[in-house]
Amino acid sequence: MIKEIIIGAFIISFLCSFFINAVARGIARKNNILIDLPDKNRKFHKRATPLTGGISIYLGSILSIYLMQILGIFSIEQSYFQHAILVCGAIIVIIFLFDDAIELNSLFRLLIQIFIALVFVIWSDAYLINLGDLFGFGFIVLNKPLSLIFTTFCIVGVMNAFNMIDGINGLCSGLVFIAMLILGIFYNGFIYTQMIFAVGAIAGFLIFNLGIIGKKRWVFLGDHGSNLLGFLTAMAMIGASQELVFDFSPVTALWLIAVPLLDCIGLILKRLLRGVGPFTADRNHLHHKLMAKGYSANTTLIIILCLSMFASFLGIVLQEMFNDTISFYCFVIFSLGFYYFSHVFSQTDKLELAND
């Protein structure tokens, strides 16, 4: 019965998202609003494309939840955590839709992210308190004031990580899809609630974003979409890692979002060392480096998604077979390897340009 409910939730959320994506895309094109125009600097798509993916995923998730409740197929126990996700998600969509339309100042965007994170943590009472035994000297447990700061920092960091990696079709949404799906498979507590609806809604969006039904029907996430998916991912990780009934360690969450997280941290550090703002746009993301080596956008997408799946399953294996400490130090080694190969790719590109 449970499997049937999960499959039903996925199918309904997929269909709702697919329908809303089609409608929202049509409205955007007809009224010439929320349209992303190509340029020769960072946007290399060949046609004007609607930025309606995020709002469609959000509305698709909400509509599917209420449809299943109305039909009596599924009921979700109401809680402050769920209310906070719905309201904060709506705030993200509304405010960052304006960002997609008129490009808000980067500092203002950051302040909005901090505000939303604070509202969520205080309202839902979802704090990152127990970080696990990371260093082998005992569990790291934060007091509530310190936890408020740390949890807010983590939420904002994850939102920016997924927002910054949203550079090619299917990448940001694909990474979130993988993280939530794997978390749902190994952590049953969440797969029965919002997670399965989000996974289905993302799948409905990917049909358009990947051009499966034709490139003329492309839809992009937009900043509101990437911020929403980053927020939802952070919520899933926080909820799972702090739930005492199920065995999901906070360090395992790092493995599930390793690729966007490490890409974001590396970029910010490089930008600060160059003396430019941490949110200054450039072409130094992992996907940029792979495409500079001659890989197509689709091949680049597959490579990065496979890397994310490898990291996720490695994190799960380390949690199941070993402990937090070994998993954390393995993550440090993985991070060093990630940055080493990323640096090698950059140096190779520079040598090729010099030889040319």
- Binding-site residue set for Mg(2+): 163, 223
Q: How far apart are CA 171 and CA 167, in angstroms?
A: 7
3-state SS record for 249-292? CHHHHHHHCHHHHHHHHHHHHHHHHCCCCCCCCCCCCHHHHHHH
Nearest CA among 165, 282, 162 for reference residue 229: 162
Structure tokens at 294: 């001659």
Nearest CA among 256, 258, 262 for reference residue 339: 262
Helix (H, G, I), strand (E, B) or coil at 32: coil
Q: How far apart are CA 57 and CA 17, in angstroms?
A: 6
Structure tokens at 40: 């020769």
- 345 by Cβ neighbours in 10 Å (0-12 / 13-18 / 19+) ranks as middle
Segments of the chain assigned E as strands: 35-36, 49-50
List, as residue ranges, the binding site.
163, 223
- 78 by Cβ neighbours in 10 Å (0-12 / 13-18 / 19+) ranks as exposed
